[in-house]
Amino acid sequence: MRCRKDLSEPKRLRVFLAQEQPRIESSPHPADQHVGRQIATVRVQSDVSQDQLARSIGISFQQLQKYENGASMLYEIGRSLGVPVSRFF
């Protein structure tokens, strides 16, 4: 028969240290603003509303507005990963 483990021993807890989050600037990076303007320009030239485009890609029109206003955070994501924004294209 196997011996039972002593239940009085405390279990070891794993402690994960959170990495310090970089401070995100309040205004979008110029690269993100440029991409957002390009999305809006192509959408308008294609005669597609924000609501139509948002529904076609499965997001809310509010989220699409954020993207068009430069809230994609491509620059911040690239910086955090140590790659240039062009790496995503």
Two tokens, residue 84? 């240039």
C-alpha closest to that of 29 among 59, 84, 57, 12: 84
How far apart (Å, rounded) are the C-alpha atoms in residues 39 and 29?
Answer: 16
C-alpha closest to that of 29 among 83, 85, 81, 82: 85
* Res. 39 pLDDT band, cuts 50 70 90: very high
Domains and CATH numbers, the chain: 30-84 (1.10.260.40)
Report pLDDT for 57.
Answer: 92
Instruction: Report pLDDT digits (tens) over 45-72.
Output: 999 999 999 999 999 999 999 999 998 8
Residue type, 3: C
